């Protein structure tokens, strides 16, 4: 008899029986079900099973939190149910039938950006370190000199040497680190077009080639476009076909043009596969997919994507830097956790990378608030843990969830405790909103998307490190205190009281 055989049999009955399970798989800590009718799942009874630490529904999947024993539980479940498990990708595909159009778009964006996030995070850390080396003057290194004379700023204050000014070694390190930094951000479209073809199940090498064609040295670098006159572009940076000209503009670091180009390539390849005989498909499908996609990219999709991306970043930047930026920060900070529940938070990856590409400082003020929201939800569930630490079941759920949120993964905290009992969720939202207000007030900027939660400071531009630590303190303390206050005052605690009753 398996370790969880009895509980597995009970879970099968509580999710509506074998006939209600369309697909099942598992991840590191959760059983993931795609159910034909989610209303048949008895959520309260499932959460009362000894191995279960919580449930939630996300992206069309009914997910049951088991913990580190989930592989053993999964094996026992498939054994007693007779249901063949499927891969995560197959489960995601089956779950699409349970999603509305907005959820499908958000899921697609998540699946495109997730594989390239490690590179973006590493790039942010590298740029942050380079910023310290070359951008921060330290008094102990002495005053900067020019033509043998001390340098002063516009206010008459002395300008201090940077590390690269005084150290040949660190100056070399700084130049060397630009190699991966440039590769990650300037050539980001290559990663995006590759990831699109990977997600769509089309030829990944064609996605790579298309991405290279968007950032080729033959094109005017996107970073140089703003400083190049229209006359010079018309004279030196066009393809002249006699009857028409096409601008030879690069799309370095541009997100939306690369996304649109990659999707056009994939849909063209899918289309031609249906109609071209397999015997000649190796010749004609790549040719008839890549060439039209490339033409579309440089004539229609690229310019449109550039315009749309700049419009989006302009609107967000106006919120981050305008006269009501404190209000924008408070609202975004408070609402980011609900965005996570709906899946809308995946859109912020595209906005962040677009802001980094378009702003003069190549930074984003949006990502710091995302890290602060993760911290705030982690603090709320940590407070819940301290209030319920003598309950073994509650402690097993809440403490790992708090640690996970502090490291940037908030789903266990949100669905396992905070949303379930409401008042910790609201406490986290309030704390995150206040932290977001402080962040935008001090104009805190990040060099890139980073590791969410407490390690998030590593991606922050060094000039804003001190105010970001203040924001972190707010995100830690306010939700923690509010969670205790709400519980003691009986505010928003009806759900928990009913569950305990």
pLDDT confidence tier of residue 98, bands split at 50, 70 and 90 = low
Dump pLDDT digits (tens) for 290-325: 999 999 999 999 999 988 888 888 888 888 888 999
Please list the residue range(s) of the chain that carry CATH number 3.30.1360.60: 5-98
SS3 call for 35: strand
The tokens describing 471, both together, are 């924001």
pLDDT at residue 378, as a whole number = 94
- How many Cα atoms within 13 Å fall on the side-chain side of residue 6? 4
Residue range 408-419: average pLDDT? 82
What is the average pLDDT score of the chain?
Answer: 86
Are 52 and 6 spatial neighbours (Cβ–Cβ below 8 Å)?
Answer: no
Active site residue 27: yes
- Other beta carbons less than 10 A from residue 158's beta carbon: 13
The most confident of the ranges 27-31, 136-140, 292-296 is 292-296
Residue 70 has pLDDT above 80, yes or no: yes
The tokens describing 181, both together, are 């930094």
pLDDT at residue 254, as a whole number = 86
Residue 118 has pLDDT above 60, yes or no: yes
Catalytic position from the list 3, 17, 18, 27:
27
Give the class (CATH, top level) of 5-98.
alpha beta
Are 430 and 482 spatial neighbours (Cβ–Cβ below 8 Å)?
Answer: yes
Which of these, 245, 225, 247, lies nearest to 237 by C-alpha position? 247
pLDDT confidence tier of residue 99, bands split at 50, 70 and 90 = low
Tell me the C-alpha to C-alpha distance, in Å, between residue 385 and each of 50, 64, 338, 413, 480: 18, 20, 21, 11, 10
Dump pLDDT digits (tens) for 193-211: 999 999 898 999 999 999 9
Residue range 160-166: average pLDDT? 86
pLDDT confidence tier of residue 381, bands split at 50, 70 and 90 = very high
On whether the pTM is more than 0.85, the answer is: no
The most confident of the ranges 2-6, 395-399, 421-425, 460-464 is 421-425
Which of these, 270, 102, 298, 284, lies nearest to 189 by C-alpha position? 298
Q: What phi and psi, each to the nearest 5 degrees, are found at residue 238?
A: -140, 155
Residue range 131-142: average pLDDT? 80
The tokens describing 36, both together, are 């034909």
Looking up tokens 């140089």, which residue turns up?
224
Residue range 48-64: average pLDDT? 81
Distance CA 478, CA 474 (A): 6
């Amino acid at each position: 008899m398996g370790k969880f055989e009895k509980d597995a049999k009970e879970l099968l009955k509580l999710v509506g029986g074998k006939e209600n399970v369309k697909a099942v798989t598992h991840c590191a800590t959760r059983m993931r079900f795609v159910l034909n009718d989610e209303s048949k799942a008895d959520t309260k009874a499932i959460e009362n099973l000894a191995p279960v630490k919580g449930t939630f529904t996300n992206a069309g999947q009914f997910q049951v939190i088991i913990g580190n024993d989930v592989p053993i539980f999964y094996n026992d479940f498939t054994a007693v149910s007779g249901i063949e498990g499927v891969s995560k990708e197959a489960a995601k595909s089956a779950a699409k039938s349970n999603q509305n159009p907005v959820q499908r778009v958000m899921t697609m964006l998540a699946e495109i950006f997730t594989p390239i996030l490690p590179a973006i995070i590493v790039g942010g850390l590298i740029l942050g370190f380079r910023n310290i080396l070359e951008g921060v003057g330290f008094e102990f290194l002495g005053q900067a000199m020019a033509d043998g004379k001390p340098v002063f700023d516009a206010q008459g204050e002395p300008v201090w040497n940077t590390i690269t000014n005084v150290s040949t070694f660190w100056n070399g390190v700084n130049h060397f680190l630009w190699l991966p930094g440039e590769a990650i951000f300037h050539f980001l479209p290559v990663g995006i077009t590759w990831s699109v073809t990977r997600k769509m199940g089309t030829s990944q090498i064609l996605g790579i080639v298309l991405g290279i064609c968007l950032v080729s040295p033959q094109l005017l670098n996107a970073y140089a476009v703003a400083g190049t006159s229209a006359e010079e572009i018309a004279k030196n940076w066009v393809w002249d076909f006699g009857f028409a000209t096409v601008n030879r503009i690069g799309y370095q670091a541009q997100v939306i043009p690369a996304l649109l180009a990659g999707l056009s390539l994939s849909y063209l390849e899918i289309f031609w596969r249906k109609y071209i005989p397999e015997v000649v498909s190796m010749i004609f499908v790549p040719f008839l997919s890549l060439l039209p996609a490339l033409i579309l990219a440089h004539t229609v999709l690229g310019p449109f994507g550039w315009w749309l991306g700049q419009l989006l970043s302009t609107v967000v930047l106006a919120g981050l830097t305008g006269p009501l930026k404190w209000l924008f920060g408070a609202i975004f900070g408070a609402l980011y956790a609900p965005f996570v529940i709906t899946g809308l938070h995946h859109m912020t990856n595209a906005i962040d990378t677009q802001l980094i590409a378009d702003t003069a400082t190549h930074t984003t003020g949006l990502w710091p608030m995302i890290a602060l929201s993760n911290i705030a939800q982690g603090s709320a569930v940590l407070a819940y843990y301290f209030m319920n630490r003598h309950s073994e079941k509650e402690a097993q759920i809440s403490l790992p969830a708090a640690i996970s949120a502090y490291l940037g993964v908030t789903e266990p905290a949100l669905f396992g405790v905070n949303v379930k009992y409401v008042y910790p969720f609201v406490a986290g939202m309030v704390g995150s909103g206040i932290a977001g207000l402080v962040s935008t007030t001090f104009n805190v900027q990040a060099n890139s998307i980073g590791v969410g939660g407490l390690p998030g400071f590593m991606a922050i531009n060094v000039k804003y490190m001190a105010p970001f630590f203040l924001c972190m303190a707010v995100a830690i303390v306010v939700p923690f205190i509010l969670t205790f206050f709400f519980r003691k005052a009986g505010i928003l605690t009806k759900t928990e009281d009913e569950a305990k009753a």
